[in-house]
């Protein structure tokens, strides 16, 4: 069941128009007599047939021929983007520069641990050689 029938909507629209006219006339504080309106300007134009361009506006999304998701293989702070959006890129091309300092720190730490392990190995070998000498 429809709440607003077409006839009811017509009456409501007419009522709103009458109310708005009454409010606008009642709120005007123009005490001077109304000036007679200028006569309307009417122009005469010769009718002619011609082509008229038809324009349409559409909303859409463009999608490239080949789209690729760019996913980082490592995480880090982005220092520079070396390509422009929408440009063609080649396989192996540098796309981003990531801050190398955290990675260099990890490499330095690993090299330090390797040197420590080599020192422990050398110490164990020396102790082994000393123990062999004591046994002999």
Q: Report the pLDDT value the prediction gives residue 55, as an integer from 0 to 100.
A: 86
Which residue, 71, 73, 76, 82, is CA-closest to 100?
Answer: 76
pLDDT for the residue numbered 26:
66
Instruction: Output phi, psi for 80, to 5 deg.
Output: -155, 145
Confidence grade of residue 16 (pLDDT, cut at 50, 70, 90): confident
Q: Is the dihedral of CA 118, 120, 124, 127 positive or negative?
A: positive
pLDDT (tens digit, 9 = 90+) per residue, 27-82? 665 555 567 788 888 888 888 888 988 888 888 887 777 777 777 788 888 899 89
The conformational region for residue 76 under phi > 0 = left, psi -120 to 50 = alpha, else beta, is: left
- Which pLDDT score is estimated for 89? 85
Rounded to whole angstroms, how far apart are CA atoms 125 and 117? 12
């Amino acid at each position: 069941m429809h709440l607003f029938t077409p006839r009811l909507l017509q009456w409501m629209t007419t009522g709103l128009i009458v109310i708005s006219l009454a409010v606008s006339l009642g709120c005007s504080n123009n005490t001077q007599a109304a000036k007679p309106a200028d006569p309307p300007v009417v122009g005469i134009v010769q009718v002619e047939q011609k082509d008229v361009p038809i324009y349409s506006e559409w909303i859409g999304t463009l999608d490239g021929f080949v789209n690729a998701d760019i996913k980082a293989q490592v995480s880090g702070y982005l220092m520079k983007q070396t390509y422009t959006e929408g440009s063609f890129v080649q396989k192996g091309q540098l796309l981003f520069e990531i801050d190398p300092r955290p990675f260099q720190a990890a490499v330095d730490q690993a090299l330090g641990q390797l040197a420590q392990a080599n020192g422990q190995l050398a110490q164990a070998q020396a102790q082994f050689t000393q123990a062999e000498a004591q046994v002999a």
